[in-house]
């Protein structure tokens, strides 16, 4: 996707996106991939002039993103929106298995549709990143479920013709090349700085400046 | 093993044992399995009168345990010593892969011998717990290496006729019954309170009062 | 009492129950008997799948429990509720003797009825624990009054056919066997971890899994 | 005892005396009976001009007082020394029953002698306060042992002709008149401000100004 | 004045009274004369059973006391009220001379009337303490003005037949006997603990138990 | 006195000089008159290029200044030294009257000589400021003693032909013109910012640039 | 401008004015030029009796000053108002270039008019300080824009016959004389104490007492 | 320069390098360019296996680097060393102009030689980065001096045939393309994250993996 000069880009997501950003989403872009990507992009393409806004909220599932969509995204009239949501829809089934806070698969798909449709209707382009677990093992039940949701996410995005960046292969490829899971994340979800660089460098290939 | 009335028991190990214990090892037993076990044992067998001392130190490998053996164990002349060491001998190969801080397998075996021999020579009985990773997957390279070290640990202990409590099967059995890895540990090494209870309840079967 | 698989259990009480739990009562179960019991039960019976909710509030007397009953208990439609309340109804007569904040005996009985009736009417089963003071002496005036309230509590519960767990004999039995009062509690009310284990192990006998 | 004008008075003891005093013992007299007594004495007898020094150290048993006697008392050449020590000699048998940190009765008596003799030899007068437990019950084992040590303390002091202030009757008399144990102390050892006033007002009767 | 058994006493005032008391005025009585007096009274007369409530608020002038009179005093229906107010009515003319926050003398007199009348009408007895500056010098302009306000305070109280305790002579008498101003207060207004004892011991003579 | 261009000026004194300066005395000049003077001088005479070093130490009496003279002053070979010492020599007689920490008048005079002589011998010029108490009253005993020490200080300095800046008249003149003591200082010793400006502006008249 | 005796002066501005002042603007005047000026003025002219109020708010642009004009300035009916605003109107174009938070030049001029007119209409006199950047270089784009806004500010003030103090030449003059930019400010906007003295001493020439 | 697989790379420098790194230089690589570069390199070239060690110390000039060269660099026997030193050699002339802490140009050249020679003699390769000031203006005296030192640095390195990365043109090029100085640094020395990315991306071009 081409990021036009002087356009506005919103990063929408959960704690992987949030990383301690300021309430306005601009004064402090947090310590994760949003900050890394926007700094690197600004230095690499100083004439592009893109406005970056972090709208990640720690703990969010698709339910909460849906509830704050108008205020945090639509009212700002962005040119581009990236979306990375779903990790917590799955994780709550596994870290709090009896609290009934996971989001069922069908509700996940519906919520995604209700998030994507108004954003596209508002005239923005989207890049959807799929949820992941930094683990290569078929023995881990949460990875199995995460793959299912990642497939739903990819499928839903493509229904609307939206560009997709699959993160599970990004991480599994690094694991296969000898980077350990502890280098990328302490808990297999929240990325370390190396993990955030993995996302950042994948994003740099998907979001290109108008004139390179 | 029978814990005789009025005997002294030292728990020797790393951060899994330490858990914030006080420097003297008695005033505060930490927040992990040492504390759970000693409290439960005291309530279940109020007439046993056992003295419990926590000598775990966060971050320790066999190298550091060896260096502090005289001061922290032998000089106290305990009746029983439990040992849980080796997790960090392995982990350092994986969380800091280029810092050359892991302990090679043969050094691990030698260090264990140098820890066990003087304790037995001092007249104490031992219970050795094997290192573990809370993961069931053959795809995880660190688990493969941890199994290797656990086998060395078990083998070494049995050479001296010392009782062994294998922790890997304790955790894998719980995973197999549907307890998730996140319930037992955030990072697959440091136990949550549930994880510490798994160790505690296994210990309760291995360390019995003189008269039940 | 049998805790059916996949049932919901609420622990209702004061600071002895609360122990720093999170506002939602599930994310953090506090550092007392609720946490010990639920962790031990989960490890001992991994297939039971019980949801545990801590609804203790520090400082509560029966008056405050009554006021928050709808929100904190009834609206959640639990399957089982444990109740441990009354310590503060009595204690306020003794630590703030002129502030008129103790609850008279008859009001205590009435409040208990108003707490128990709607819970039973909502279809939940109950286990009532009686208030206690960790002291064996007839010379201590607060213990005398606490025994009176414990008797009211037991009598009221039995009127409704509710199961009762008397805690005063649990603690006095341990004192008689040589455990000191300072091991169980600094102030004879708030349990140490050993004191919480005394409650926990008594609870483990009263709350049994569906299939052991 | 008469406190002569312009004399120097040292308060020697444990945490009941210490109460957060400054290292030099004069800049901050702590928040306990030393501060209350010296302030009240200064206001009641403004012309007396007495120098007050707090040499209490939290946690001290007779062993530690003995070890610091030269530095903290003798080298200052006081005119009067009050001594309140022994609570921790007993308490350690009860709050850490298996850590072997209590002081046996005969050692307690010997230590007291070794503390009193050089102070008297240095020309100071002494007032010895006996250790106490704020509890009236013969059912409490620690009170029984504390009474034994208080008797040793009184007996030893009187052997040297030293004035004695027995604190156990001071507190039991207040309990008998309806002041509750929680008003005087949370843990039956460390006094509340009311508890410190009980000591202070007893001291005011034992330490009189030169001219009233 | 006789404090009847089981009566309720409210201390009304500014920071000299407040001293860090808890919002309810009972749980924590602060670190000043209210705490010293109530503790000493409780120990000296254990059978009196008086309820003490601290309603001091730091920074208050008569204006603020008037505004909170209904909530903090009248609604509690006390038996006795002590009043110590006026220091800040004067001080604001001297520490912030151009901020126009001092209370003129006539307003001070009127405010006192509006405070005293409803308290007496509510059936309570009063003891009025006059404002003071811990300084003996006619060269200090603030002392001159404080003496003027103290005279207004005494005169107003006597108009209603209310008992008066003049604090300026209490402090000047101690200064005359050689206690330095720095012993009584760092800033000549806020008492040190010795300064609070001076107030406390004067109060002990004015507020007597029913049966001594 | 003329401050030559590129000269080094040391401010020597107690807490009035110190005011939180950094250990090296240059990185942070503190929040008192040293900082105000050096900033104002630098802005007023930007071409003068004077190096300023704060060597005040809170709590110092002449005894402590003497002990650190070699390290803090002589070894730096300053061109000019200002000295403001003596407040604590007197104050200790009044805030801790029985701790025997005041410096007698004759020792004060001797100490001053031992401070001044080696500084002059080292080739530096001096400006001596006399100790003060911000109070105009002959009724205040500490002011009487401070005036005595200020006279000793002035007399001693003049014996050596050293320039003197008397601070007592600086402050009394402001008090006489209607500035209140609370504007200049909370405790009549430590200056507020206004009080530090009083010193600063007096210093600006005594320390002049080479070319104005 | 002559500051009449007993008049009220409000300092209106942004973080350069605010510097940590208290909410009421009087209790604490902050650590910047407002505090320096008012302290120096009070000491230099003790009989003037001027009331100083700091109404600076960190981060403010003309937009925010306009919004709070009624509450923070007009309702107080000051005699004199100083205004220093505009730095942030410009800076936001440079430290957050894509967040669209700078104030365009024409809006800046309009906002200034809407601030000045009601203040003058309320009967106050004004002194307007122009925004600045502590940099002498024509190569710095932000200085170029700041000069443009300073010119607008000066021009607007003079339209109303208001006295102007240009700060850019104050700072550039000091830089030209060898004071480095780091002595005056770390970031070329927020003054160090030396930088605040530069403003203070310029203000002392513009705001004169009624009788010197 | 080619970074061979499994080689060890030390980053040597001042606060620009340090950025809060851990004492061992490996556990925490700080928050600056060292961390960014090593994370990006690890993700981009997962098979390279390079060990990264941060040996920056905040505040260091060449003098301090020289003093710690043996311990921090030579004893580790690195394969490659990057050096970025000199900013503080210059800056101290400007932020503390009269404290005589700047390093003269000839001493700077000599120190560089004494740093480079033993590193090369130890068998390591070097990459020298030149000191910079993020300012384009010939009106800024510190930039003029920094350019002089950067020339010395470049010249000295080239004398030894060492590769040089000039940072001044890196930053000036970005300023010329419209990135503001405040985006790159608040004080024109310490880089923001964007500023650290500018260094990082220049480093990525100079330090290449063995097989890309």
The percent of residues above 70 in pLDDT, for chain G, comes to 100
Task: Give the gap in angstroms from C-alpha C139 to the nearest C-alpha of chain E.
Answer: 18
CB contact under 8 A, F174 and G35: no
Determine the 3-state secondary structure of B55 from DSSP: strand
Query: Domain limits at B41?
Result: 2-209
Which chain B residues contact residue A193 at CB under 8 A?
none
- H or E segment at H164? strand H163-165
Task: Give the gap in angstroms from C-alpha E65 to the nearest C-alpha of chain F.
Answer: 24
**Catalytic member of H15, H38, H181, H185:** H15
Tell me what the mean pLDDT of segment C124-129 comes to.
Answer: 98
Tell me what the mean pLDDT of segment B164-184 comes to.
Answer: 97
pLDDT tens-digit series, residues B98-157: 888 999 999 999 999 999 999 999 999 999 999 999 999 999 999 999 999 999 999 999
- Per the listing, tokens 């709607």 go with C118
For chain D, list residues whose CB is within 8 angstroms of any CB belonging to chain F. 6, 26-27, 49-52
Which chain B residues contact residue C198 at CB under 8 A?
43
Question: Would you give the DSSP letter of residue F74?
Answer: G
The half-sphere exposure of D145 on its side-chain side, counting CA atoms within 13 A, is 19
Flag whether pLDDT at C134 surpasses 70. yes
Instruction: List b or e across H73-111, with b for residues whose CB sees 16 or more CB atoms inside 10 angstroms.
Output: bbebebbbbbbbbbbbbbbbbbbbbbbebbbeeeebbeb
Flag whether pLDDT at D212 surpasses 70. no
Tokens of A149: 């949701």
CB contact under 8 A, H140 and G95: no
Number of cross-chain residue pairs from E and G with Cβ atoms under 8 Å apart: 11
Task: Give the gap in angstroms from C-alpha C113 to the nearest C-alpha of chain E.
Answer: 30
CB contact under 8 A, E43 and D179: yes
Tell me what the mean pLDDT of segment C152-168 comes to.
Answer: 98
Tell me which chain A residue has its CA closest to the CA of residue C38.
A98
Flag whether pLDDT at G179 surpasses 70. yes
Residue H70 burial class via C-beta count within 10 angstroms: exposed 0-12, middle 13-18, buried 19 and up = exposed
Flag whether pLDDT at A69 surpasses 70. yes
Tell me which chain H residue has its CA closest to the CA of residue F5.
H98
**Catalytic member of C15, C38, C181, C185:** C15
Tokens of E108: 């001070």
Tokens of E207: 């507020």
Chain H neighbours (≥3 Cβ pairs under 8 A) are A, B, F, G
Tell me what the mean pLDDT of segment G81-108 comes to.
Answer: 95
Distance of CA D211 to the CA centre of its chain: 25
Which chain D residues contact residue F97 at CB under 8 A?
49
Is position A95 annotated as part of the catalytic site? no
Is position F187 annotated as part of the catalytic site? yes
Determine the 3-state secondary structure of B63 from DSSP: helix
pLDDT tens-digit series, residues D125-145: 999 999 999 999 999 999 999
- Residue G90 phi/psi, 5-degree rounding, is -90, -45
pLDDT tens-digit series, residues B48-91: 999 999 999 999 999 999 999 999 999 999 999 999 999 999 99
Which chain E residues contact residue F91 at CB under 8 A?
182
pLDDT tens-digit series, residues C71-110: 999 999 999 999 999 999 999 999 988 888 999 999 999 9
CB contact under 8 A, A99 and C49: no
Flag whether pLDDT at B189 surpasses 80. yes
What span, in angstroms and rounded, lies between the C-alpha atoms of D14 and D20?
A: 11
What span, in angstroms and rounded, lies between the C-alpha atoms of C164 and C153?
A: 9
Task: Give the gap in angstroms from C-alpha A90 to the nearest C-alpha of chain B.
Answer: 13
- The residues of B annotated as belonging to the active site are 15, 187, 190
Q: Which residue among E136, E139, E182 sits closest to F94, beta carbon to beta carbon?
A: E182
pLDDT tens-digit series, residues H77-111: 999 999 999 999 999 999 988 888 999 999 999 99
pLDDT tens-digit series, residues E9-27: 999 999 999 999 999 999 9
Residue A160 pLDDT: 98
CB contact under 8 A, H96 and F50: no
Tell me what the mean pLDDT of segment G185-200 comes to.
Answer: 97
Residue A99 near residue A91 (C-beta atoms within 8 A): no
CB contact under 8 A, F137 and E142: no
Residue B212 pLDDT: 60
Residue H212 pLDDT: 60
Pinpoint the alpha helices (H) of F45-140.
62-67, 69-72, 87-95, 105-121
Planar angle of CA D130, D131, D136, nearest 5 degrees = 110
Residue G212 pLDDT: 60
Tell me which chain F residue has its CA closest to the CA of residue H100.
F51
CB contact under 8 A, B193 and C35: yes
Task: Give the gap in angstroms from C-alpha B149 to the nearest C-alpha of chain D.
Answer: 35
Residue C212 pLDDT: 60
**Catalytic member of D7, D72, D110, D190:** D190
CB contact under 8 A, F180 and E91: no
pLDDT tens-digit series, residues G114-123: 999 999 999 9
Tell me what the mean pLDDT of segment E63-91 comes to.
Answer: 98
Tell me what the mean pLDDT of segment C8-17 comes to.
Answer: 98
Which chain A residues contact residue B180 at CB under 8 A?
94-95, 97, 141-142
pLDDT tens-digit series, residues G36-89: 999 999 999 999 999 999 999 999 999 999 999 999 999 999 999 999 999 999
Flag whether pLDDT at E158 surpasses 80. yes
- Beta strand residue intervals within E1-140, DSSP E: 2-3, 8-13, 51-56, 80-84, 125-129
Flag whether pLDDT at E212 surpasses 80. no
Residue A19 pLDDT: 97
CB contact under 8 A, G26 and E96: yes
Residue D211 pLDDT: 74
Tell me what the mean pLDDT of segment H1-6 comes to.
Answer: 94
CB contact under 8 A, C91 and D186: no
Residue B175 pLDDT: 96
Which chain C residues contact residue B41 at CB under 8 A?
none
Which chain E residues contact residue D193 at CB under 8 A?
35, 39
Domain CATH for F156: 3.40.50.1110
Task: Give the gap in angstroms from C-alpha F162 to the nearest C-alpha of chain D.
Answer: 36
Task: Give the gap in angstroms from C-alpha G209 to the nearest C-alpha of chain H.
Answer: 36
DSSP codes joined into one string, chain G: -EE-TT-EEEEEESHHHHTT--TTSSS---SSHHHHHHHHHHHH-TTS--EEEEEE-TT--HHHHHHTHHHHTGGG--SEEEEE--HHHHHHHHHSTTS--S--HHHHHHHHHHHHHHHHHTT-EEEEEPP--S---TT-HHHHHHHHHHHHHHHHHHHTT-EEE-HHHHHHHHHHTT--HHHHBSSSSSB-HHHHHHHHHHHHHHSEES--
Q: How far separated are the first and last CA of chain B, in Å rounded?
A: 13
CB contact under 8 A, A95 and B138: no
pLDDT tens-digit series, residues G1-48: 999 999 999 999 999 999 999 999 999 999 999 999 999 999 999 999
Distance of CA C98 to the CA centre of its chain: 27
For chain B, list residues whose CB is within 8 angstroms of any CB belonging to chain D. 6, 26-27, 49-52
Which residue in B37, B42, B43 has the most chain C C-beta atoms within 10 A of its own C-beta, making it the best mutation to test that interface? B43
CB contact under 8 A, F96 and D27: yes
pLDDT tens-digit series, residues F14-42: 999 999 999 999 999 999 999 999 999 99
Question: Would you give the DSSP letter of residue H192?
Answer: -
CB contact under 8 A, B183 and A141: no
Domain count, chain F: 1
Flag whether pLDDT at D183 surpasses 80. yes
User: F212 pLDDT band (50/70/90 cuts)?
Assistant: low
Determine the 3-state secondary structure of F60 from DSSP: coil
What span, in angstroms and rounded, lies between the C-alpha atoms of H17 and H196?
A: 10
What integer best gives the mean pLDDT of chain F? 96
CB contact under 8 A, G201 and F177: no
Task: Give the gap in angstroms from C-alpha G51 to the nearest C-alpha of chain E.
Answer: 5
Residue F100 pLDDT: 82
ipTM for the predicted complex: 0.93
Determine the 3-state secondary structure of E125 from DSSP: strand
Which chain A residues contact residue G100 at CB under 8 A?
51
Q: At what angle do helices B167-176 and B193-206 cross, to 10 degrees?
A: 120
The half-sphere exposure of G191 on its side-chain side, counting CA atoms within 13 A, is 28
What integer best gives the mean pLDDT of chain D? 96
What span, in angstroms and rounded, lies between the C-alpha atoms of G52 and G25?
A: 8
Tell me what the mean pLDDT of segment F128-147 comes to.
Answer: 96
Flag whether pLDDT at H40 surpasses 90. yes
Question: Would you give the DSSP letter of residue A191?
Answer: B
**Catalytic member of A15, A38, A181, A185:** A15
Task: For residue A128, count other CB atoms closer than 10 A to its CB.
Answer: 25
Planar angle of CA E44, E45, E47, nearest 5 degrees = 150
Is position H206 annotated as part of the catalytic site? no
């Amino acid at each position: 996707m081409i990021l036009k000069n002087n356009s506005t880009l919103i990063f929408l997501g959960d704690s992987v996106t949030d990383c301690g950003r300021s309430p306005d989403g601009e004064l402090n872009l947090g310590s994760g991939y949003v900050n890394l990507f926007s700094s690197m992009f600004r230095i690499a393409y100083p004439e592009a002039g893109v406005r970056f806004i972090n709208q990640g909220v720690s703990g969010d599932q698709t339910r909460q993103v849906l509830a704050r969509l108008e205020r945090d995204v639509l009212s700002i009239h962005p040119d581009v929106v990236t979306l990375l949501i779903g990790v917590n829809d799955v994780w709550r089934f596994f870290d709090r298995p009896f609290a009934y806070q996971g989001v069922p698969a069908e509700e996940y798909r519906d919520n995604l549709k209700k998030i994507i449709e108004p954003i596209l209707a508002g005239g923005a382009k989207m890049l959807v990143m799929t949820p992941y677990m930094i683990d290569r093992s078929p023995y881990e039940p949460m990875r199995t479920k995460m793959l299912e949701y990642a497939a739903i996410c990819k499928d839903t995005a493509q229904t609307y013709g939206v560009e997709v960046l699959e993160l599970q292969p990004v991480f599994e490829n690094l694991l296969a090349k000898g980077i350990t899971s502890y280098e990328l994340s302490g808990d297999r979800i929240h990325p370390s700085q190396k993990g955030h660089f993995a996302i950042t460098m994948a994003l740099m290939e998907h979001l290109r400046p108008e004139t390179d």
